[in-house]
Structures are given as C-alpha cells and as structure tokens.
Chains A and B, each alone.
Chain A
Amino acid sequence: MSIKGKACIAGIYEHPTRLAPDKSVAELHAEVAAGALADAGIVKADVDGYFCAGDAPGLGGLSMIDYLGLKVRHVDSTETGGSSYIVHVAHAAEAIAAGHCSVALITLAGRPRSEGSSGLQPRFYGAAAPDAAFEQPYGPATVNMYAMVAMRHMYEFGTTSEQLAWIKVAASHHAQHNPQAMLRDLVTVKDVLDSPMIADPLHRLDCCVVSDGGGALVVTRPEIARELKKPLVRVIGAGEAVKGQSGGKLDLTQSASAWSGAAAFAEAGVGPGDIRYASIYDSFTITVLVQLEDLGFCAKGEGGRFVADGGLISGSGRLAVNTDGGGLCNNHPGNRGGMTKVIEAVRQLRGEAHPAVQMKDCALALANGTGGQLGSRHGGATLILERT
C-alpha cells in the first residue's frame, strides 16, 4: 500500500510569537491547534487523530488529548527529534489511507528562548540511554556535534566556511520579507565569517535562532479537503530513516536523509530535478548542505558549490530553499524545525508565500527534516507534496 495521493495537508499555522514567557507550553499547543483548524476551516469536533512528539508536555498524546478536549480514534507520539512532524504527516497519511482516522491534527510548541536553552549546553537524554556513559563525560552539546560533521565534510571534500556562509546569506535574503522573522537584516558571507566562532568551524551566524512558539498541521482525506476553501495539497511521497554511529564504523558526512529521500522520491515517482522549492531543515548551515547532497540535488561533496553564490535564493538560485527565512533567520520553535519546514512548503504550493519569494506556479515541493544529532544519532524524514 502506498500513501500516494491518499491524504492532503488542509491546515497550517505558524505561531507568530518568538518569545512567550507568559504562556505555558500546553497553551501554545492549544493556540497552534486552533490556528491550523481555522486555516483549514475544520472544527475541533471533527478531529479524530492526534499526533505530537517529545515537546508535548506530560504523557505523550494522553495529556494533550485530555487538555485539548479531543476525542480521537488514532494517536501517535512518534519521537524523532526535530524531524518528528514530517514523520507525523506521513504517519497521518498512512492512518487516513487505512481508514483509522479522517482528520489528523499535529502540534508542536516550546519555549526554549524563555527557558534559556541554547546549543552550547550538553544534551542529556537520561542515564539509561545506552550511549550515555560513553558520551556524556565528553560534553556533547548540539553545536559541537554538528560542527564535527562540518569539520569532516571540509576534510573530505574541501568544503569551505565561505560556502557554508552562503546558506545563511540566502536565508537572510528570504527573511527580510518576513515580518515575523527574528533576524530580518541582510547578511553577507563576510558577516558570517566575522561573527564569533562558537564551535569550530561553525560561527554564530552558522547557527539557527532560539525561539519560543510552535506550529500545527491538519491532514485529511482528499474528499474532505476538496470541500474546503484552500488549494489541494496532496502528500505523494514520504520516507523516514534513522542513522547512528554504525557500531563505530563512522560516516559523518552522510545523513539518514539519503535513505528517507530515496524512499520518498520512489513513492512519489519524481526526482530531485523535478523539485523547484525545498524546505530543508537548517539547524546549522552544514545541516542544509548535507541534506541537499543526500537528497540528490547534487552529488556528495558538491554541496559547497551548489549553495555558493546565492544558489539557494528564491528566483535567482539553483533551488529555492526555506523562503520563510528558515531556522537560521525566521523561527526554530521548541528547538525543532520540522514543523515550519512543512508549513512553508505548503505556503509555496498554495501561492501564499511572500510575493518576493513565492516561486511561480509551484506545483511540487519537498520538505526534509533531521532530528537529534547529525554527529551521533539522528532521524531523517522526507515529504513530497503536490498541488492538484
């Protein structure tokens, strides 16, 4: 069974806040849920499937379903870090195709900015994590684990800091048009290289923002979506994968997206050359570069040349990427970027992106996410969406 064409993304909502000290995380979940349902034109009583990940407070979906006042016949709390929400869309499509639900609600929210979170702090997933004793003593934070991927990529392929900087430059070109973006100033390659070194070779401007907020999606059957006011955005391909340290046979320059991307393209029956807009998770500049290669937009090792000289700028570049300004400039709610990746891809397909960055007649889009740590163990998730 394929999910191709079996489900549509009918509702999207990105919370406008970037700093929410006066709201609870659950409250933000409720606000984005309401926003996505209003966008779709669907009432809460029609929701019969709910999806959330590790950012949801309490006991997975149980706490949130009770809090939101939902009555569902399908629940899924798959946790693959920041890529979770891309996986959730695929799982929602599967559940809809199987007849297990008709209207799926997916929510994300978090307040890392209010809570003082940053990528400098070592991440700890609990003493019982099987890797904990062999890693926690060494100070694995978010930024230095991604930095090691960048360092290795530079060593193997000659990728440069200037090339990585172009990814941030493209994001800033898009963010200048987004009134809700945290960082709206245009930056240059020199600005990125002159920003403080955080963890070699990643500078401050190679890193995404830390923001409070959230987002939500409504996924439903095509027969229901057709009755609504929004353009029809179908899920036509999906893939998910997990990659770790491979028992010590390390290969840091290839991510799980090589596998999730191949599966999604095969299901959709299209290839990288057919895609003109892509949302690519940008926790760091290097994250984008590795995914572009793994998805087949260029060969492994060619990512630096692909992104350089404005390669990712909408309209003038080789491939329009993250036209909302992405995590690098716009928003990274809950330290999890998968949700906003789906939202901007849907905006592009609907023609709802900012006119300055909207791709002309965008009928096919890709959203890709990574979750966890690219430098140790991570998830990869790919969605291919089509406007019909």
Chain B
Amino acid sequence: MNIPSPAINPENKPFFDAAREGRLLIKRCLACGERHYYPRAHCPFCGSQRTEWIETPGHGRIYSFSVMRRVAEPYAIAYVTLDEGVSMLTNLVDCDFDRLKIGAPVRVVFRSAAGGEAIPIFTPL
C-alpha cells in the first residue's frame, strides 16, 4: 500500500512524532474536558486554546467503511470510533475486505508513508 506523506506542520507535529514511536495521540480540552479528533491546538467545542495531547491504546470499532474497487490496488477507507468516543478517518488493512462489518472491533497498527513518516491505520481483531 502506497501511503502519501502527511502534510506535517507545527500544530500537528507532536502527533506524527508520537506515531513514529508507535503511539496514537488525540486531544483533550483542559477547559471543558472534551476529547476531539482530528487534533487541533484549540478545542472545537468550547474554543479554549488550552488543550493537551493524550495517548490512546488505539482500540475501537468500525463506524463505516468503503472498499475502493475500481483502482489498480483496492483499499478500504474507514471511520473508526475509538473507545474514547472520537472517530477518525483511516484505512483498514490485513483483512478480508469482503468480511468487513460496521461495529467490528479494530486496533491500531502503524505503517510507513512515502517519506518514512509513521501513519496510524487499523486492523480488525
């Protein structure tokens, strides 16, 4: 699977630094306590600029998915809802695309993008 490199910037760099160490981060607001994804410097719920990175074990369930069939190398795009309650766009790998089901449990694994960056991806348990 050929993964395009992510556009890393100062706001999102800690996420990809942690991914390189095999750790998945999301954000939590220090003002209202809400978790959010994709991660931002501010909280998209209350607007506070006081947010912190928190690590998640990377367990969740498939919220929705679709297998792109009419391309040279079919791939499964998905939203996974983490146990922490936030959903993230991702791919599903190491699985039979014909047996994927919404609600199925998945866990995070990491793959290398074109430029060597680590990218969180999910695989069914």
Which residues of A line the B interface, CB within 8 A?
Answer: 120, 122, 127-141, 143-145, 147-149, 151-152, 155, 196-202, 245-250, 252, 376
A200 CA to B102 CA, complexed, in Å: 13
Q: Assess the A137–B71 pair: CB atoms within 8 A.
A: no
- Report chain B residues within 8 Å CB of A132: 6-7
A247 CA to B84 CA, complexed, in Å: 13
- Report chain B residues within 8 Å CB of A141: 68
Q: Can you list, as one digit per residue, whether each of B32-68 has a CB less than 8 Å from chain A (1) or not (0)?
A: 0011111110011100000000000000000111111
- Report chain A residues within 8 Å CB of B113: 137
A38 CA to B99 CA, complexed, in Å: 57
- Report chain B residues within 8 Å CB of A248: 26, 35-38, 85-88
Q: Assess the B91–A139 pair: CB atoms within 8 A.
A: yes
Known: A249-B85, A252-B63, A252-B64. 16 other contacts (CB 8 A): A120-B71, A130-B38, A133-B8, A133-B15, A134-B37, A134-B39, A135-B38, A135-B89, A137-B6, A196-B70, A198-B68, A247-B34, A247-B86, A248-B88, A249-B87, A250-B87
Partner of A148, one of B16, B65, B85: B65
Which among B3, B64, B67 has the highest number of chain A CB atoms within 10 Å? B64
- Report chain A residues within 8 Å CB of B119: 137
Partner of B78, one of A128, A136, A148, A197: A148
Looking at the assembled complex, report how far the CB atom of A139 sits from the nearest CB atom of chain B, in whole angstroms: 6
Whether a CB of chain A sits under 8 angstroms from the CB of B90 is yes
A138 CA to B121 CA, complexed, in Å: 9
Looking at the assembled complex, report how far the CB atom of A246 sits from the nearest CB atom of chain B, in whole angstroms: 8
A-B contact count (CB 8 A): 125
A249 touching B66 in the complex, CB below 8 Å, given contacts A134-B12, A137-B4, A137-B113: no
- Report chain A residues within 8 Å CB of B63: 152, 250, 252
Across the interface, name the chain A residue whose C-beta is closest to B8.
A133
Partner of A137, one of B5, B37, B85: B5
14 A-B residue pairs with Cβ-Cβ distance under 8 Å, sorted by A, are A120-B68, A135-B38, A137-B3, A143-B68, A145-B77, A148-B65, A148-B77, A152-B63, A198-B70, A199-B69, A246-B44, A250-B81, A252-B64, A252-B79
Partner of A130, one of B5, B40, B75, B81: B40
A144 touching B77 in the complex, CB below 8 Å, given contacts A196-B69, A252-B64: yes
- Report how many residues on chain B are interfacial, defined by Cβ distance under 8 Å: 48
Q: Assess the A133–B81 pair: CB atoms within 8 A.
A: no
Q: Assess the A133–B7 pair: CB atoms within 8 A.
A: yes
A128 CA to B26 CA, complexed, in Å: 20
Looking at the assembled complex, report how far the CB atom of B90 sits from the nearest CB atom of chain A, in whole angstroms: 6
Looking at the assembled complex, report how far the CB atom of A172 sits from the nearest CB atom of chain B, in whole angstroms: 21
Looking at the assembled complex, report how far the CB atom of A208 sits from the nearest CB atom of chain B, in whole angstroms: 15
Looking at the assembled complex, report how far the CB atom of A195 sits from the nearest CB atom of chain B, in whole angstroms: 11
Looking at the assembled complex, report how far the CB atom of B16 sits from the nearest CB atom of chain A, in whole angstroms: 7
Looking at the assembled complex, report how far the CB atom of A126 sits from the nearest CB atom of chain B, in whole angstroms: 8
- Report chain B residues within 8 Å CB of A245: 38, 87
Q: Assess the B86–A144 pair: CB atoms within 8 A.
A: no
Q: Assess the A139–B81 pair: CB atoms within 8 A.
A: no
Looking at the assembled complex, report how far the CB atom of B42 sits from the nearest CB atom of chain A, in whole angstroms: 11
Q: Assess the A138–B77 pair: CB atoms within 8 A.
A: yes
A140 CA to B75 CA, complexed, in Å: 11
Q: Assess the A134–B86 pair: CB atoms within 8 A.
A: no
Q: Assess the A138–B64 pair: CB atoms within 8 A.
A: no
Which among A137, A151, A245 has the highest number of chain B CB atoms within 10 Å? A137
- Report chain B residues within 8 Å CB of A152: 63-64, 102
- Report chain A residues within 8 Å CB of B91: 138-139
- Report chain A residues within 8 Å CB of B40: 130
A152 CA to B65 CA, complexed, in Å: 8
Q: Assess the B66–A151 pair: CB atoms within 8 A.
A: yes
A9 CA to B6 CA, complexed, in Å: 45
- Report chain B residues within 8 Å CB of A136: 4, 6-7
Across the interface, name the chain B residue whose C-beta is closest to A138.
B91
Q: Assess the A199–B6 pair: CB atoms within 8 A.
A: no
Across the interface, name the chain A residue whose C-beta is closest to B121.
A138
Looking at the assembled complex, report how far the CB atom of A375 sits from the nearest CB atom of chain B, in whole angstroms: 8
Q: Assess the B66–A199 pair: CB atoms within 8 A.
A: yes
A247 touching B12 in the complex, CB below 8 Å, given contacts A139-B68, A152-B63: no
- Report chain B residues within 8 Å CB of A129: 7
- Report chain B residues within 8 Å CB of A127: 7
Q: Assess the A147–B66 pair: CB atoms within 8 A.
A: yes
- Report chain A residues within 8 Å CB of B71: 120
